[in-house]
Amino acid sequence: MKRSFTLLELIFVIIVIGILAAVVIPRLRTDSLTKATTIFIDTLRYTQHLAMVDDKYTPTKALSLYSGSTKKMKDTKFWFKKWWMFYINGANSHPVLVVFSDTPSANAANSEFNYYPYYDEVANGGSSGKKMMGKSFNAPTDEKYVDRSLDLLLSYGIKKVVIETPCSHNKTKLAFDELGRPHCIQQKSSSNYTPYRYILDSKIKYTLCKDDGCEENSSVCVVARSGYIYRCD
């Protein structure tokens, strides 16, 4: 004869499941925050690494030879605007990470930055072969070209990234020079925009938030001058 569960046994099982859920669910949430923080740090460090191994310097002594070629003149005079950059698109609502090296505009007198990175400006993600962008900004839009691990909301539930920075203009972009030092991005029309004028003079802090009130969070800091990157909770 089959023996059914008693009411007491059912209550006991429900209590055990509740205790397990109370223990496991917070760990799963914390684990996703830890993974997002690791990805964030790795992406920052990879941007810095690219800047150091892929020096964009172009000698300026030949500028006079480029009077008949606007593009060559810009590539030479504004070589530092092609430094590798770390970019957080949609920081306040749907944060997505991008690593790219900007190409000078053909029309701007002082080689402006593009608002969105073009596909061929985005770094390749090593062995994965995917572009280091969490979403596609332009063609090709095929998902196989996009690294979804850089979409912090869809992959880890990060709702926003709060940025505390000394940079007064563009807070979502950070450039690294050939020595791995971090630089603020200034207005494209700035007439006094020279290579090392806007090096970071105090640390920048990124806080990854799992909720709108940012009660569950994790922080990453970039030290001024040296560019040292670390978790700073």
- Domain membership of residue 2 (yes or no) is no
- Domain membership of residue 139 (yes or no) is yes
- Domain membership of residue 73 (yes or no) is yes
Total domains in the fold of the chain:
1
Q: Output the CA torsion 172→71→106→130 (10° steps).
A: -50
Of the chain, the end-to-end C-alpha distance in Å amounts to 60
How far, in Å, CA of 227 to CA of 160, rounded?
A: 23
Task: Output the six-digit token pair for 135.
Answer: 């979403």
How far, in Å, CA of 219 to CA of 232, rounded?
A: 5
Top pLDDT among 193 and 6 is at 6
Top pLDDT among 120 and 66 is at 120
Is the model's pTM score more than 0.85?
A: no
- Angstrom CA distances, 201 to 12, 169, 178, 224, stand at 60, 14, 17, 5
Q: Is it the case that residue 48 has pLDDT exceeding 80?
A: yes
How far, in Å, CA of 231 to CA of 131, rounded?
A: 25
Q: Are 83 and 175 in contact (CB under 8 A)?
A: yes
How far, in Å, CA of 123 to CA of 170, rounded?
A: 21
Beta bridge pairs of residue 221: 205, 230
- Domain membership of residue 159 (yes or no) is yes
- Domain membership of residue 1 (yes or no) is no
Domain that holds residue 205: 9-231
Q: Are 131 and 125 in contact (CB under 8 A)?
A: yes
Task: Name residue, tokens 């460090």.
Answer: 45
How far, in Å, CA of 181 to CA of 209, rounded?
A: 26
Q: Is it the case that residue 140 has pLDDT exceeding 80?
A: no
* pLDDT for the residue numbered 157: 97
% pLDDT > 90, the chain: 49
Task: Name residue, tokens 């009130």.
Answer: 213
